Amino acid sequence: HINLDGDGIGSELAFYFILKKLNKKAIILNQNRLPKIYDFLPGSDKVHYLNNNRINPKSIDVGIVLDCSNIERIGRTYEIFKDIKTIINIDHHKSNENYGNLNYLDCSASSVGEIIYELITFININLLDEKISTCLFTAIMTDTGSFRYSNVSSKTFGVASHLTSNGIKSHLIANNIYNRNTYPGLKLLGEALLTLEINESSCVSWLTITRKMLNDANANDEEIEGIIDIATTLNNVEISILFRETKDNKIKVSFRAKGNFDVNKFAGKFKGGGHPNAAGCLCS
């Protein structure tokens, strides 16, 4: 999907390996390249993206869409998917629009990674190996905020426990994702924190990132990832908001919540969405 995250990436790679084990021909197609922090994942070099693909939709029997609540989340890959006769939609968002010919939705799941795990247990638990477990653990860990969000259940911990028993190195996964800051990225973080504002009465904090700030820090869009989470760690703050200027002069708004406020519902008022603890929208 657009704005690729760990759940979307980990889930699609895991599903790719499952299909290959079942002797099915499979390709992964995204609108954009994977963020560099996910280069360590097995199979990351197998991913196609729109600008480098030579895919003929007529050669594809089934298109499987992961972690997309609606067609818009597919982005420009819809150019390919609109000509595929059978679409399977696998997702965990409450706002999912059931756009597939077959829709597999589990809104109680922490992530699509958790759903893929359940599918494996249904098909054949012996399909689960170290590569697939690494991808699924990454999916679950990132979509739960390292198991901090309210979407974590006892089942989530059970799945994570089983995945770690397959030889994965959870500390290396965490290091690859969370401990790969760059000098430009840290400079951008410093500039962003200078814009930080707090409304103590409403327990809300917000900060801003402009294109000029990105250029001055020599940073890229990938290095914005995680900045909003820093603001969320503030004591007495329940909601954090990040306003960031996009390359096409729009404003991408990211929301994080650590209380009972559902930022997914709030983002939905602006045609956005996500989860109760993490959501976003795009404003022009």
Question: Domain holding 161: CATH number?
Answer: 3.90.1640.10
Q: What is the mean pLDDT of residues 135-143?
A: 97
Total residues belonging to the chain: 284
Q: What is the pLDDT of residue 188?
A: 97
Q: Is 250 helix (H, G, I), strand (E, B) or coil?
A: coil
Please state, for a pLDDT cut of 90, what percent of the chain lies above it: 70
CA 68 – CA 93 distance, rounded (Å): 8
Q: What is the pLDDT of residue 170?
A: 94
Q: Is 70 within the bounds of a domain?
A: yes
Does the pLDDT at position 259 exceed 80?
no
Contacts of 248 (CB under 8 A, 6+ apart): none
Q: What is the pLDDT of residue 53?
A: 63
Does the pLDDT at position 26 exceed 80?
yes
Asked which of 46-55, 108-117, 197-206, 227-236 is least confident by mean pLDDT, the reply is: 46-55
Does the pLDDT at position 263 exceed 70?
yes
Q: Are residues 45 and 150 in the same domain?
A: yes
Residue from 50, 72, 13, 64 nearest 280 by CA: 72
Q: Are residues 173 and 202 in the same domain?
A: no
- What does pLDDT average to over the chain? 92
Q: In 10 A of CB 193, how many CB atoms? A: 12
Domain edge (last residue) among 141, 162, 178: 178
Range of the domain at 211: 183-283
Does the pLDDT at position 124 exceed 80?
yes
CA 150 – CA 109 distance, rounded (Å): 11
Q: What is the pLDDT of residue 52?
A: 62
Report how many domains make up the chain.
Answer: 2
Give the CATH number, domain containing residue 231: 3.10.310.30
List, for residues 73-104, the tens digit of each pLDDT value.
Answer: 888 888 888 889 899 999 999 889 999 999 99
Q: Is 1 within the bounds of a domain?
A: no
Q: What is the pLDDT of residue 57?
A: 77
Q: Are residues 83 and 217 in the same domain?
A: no
Q: Are residues 236 and 157 in the same domain?
A: no
Does the predicted TM-score (pTM) go above 0.85?
yes
Domain edge (last residue) among 146, 178, 210: 178
CA 256 – CA 280 distance, rounded (Å): 9
Q: Helix axis angle, 130-143 relative to 6-21, nearest 10°?
A: 160
CA 29 – CA 265 distance, rounded (Å): 29
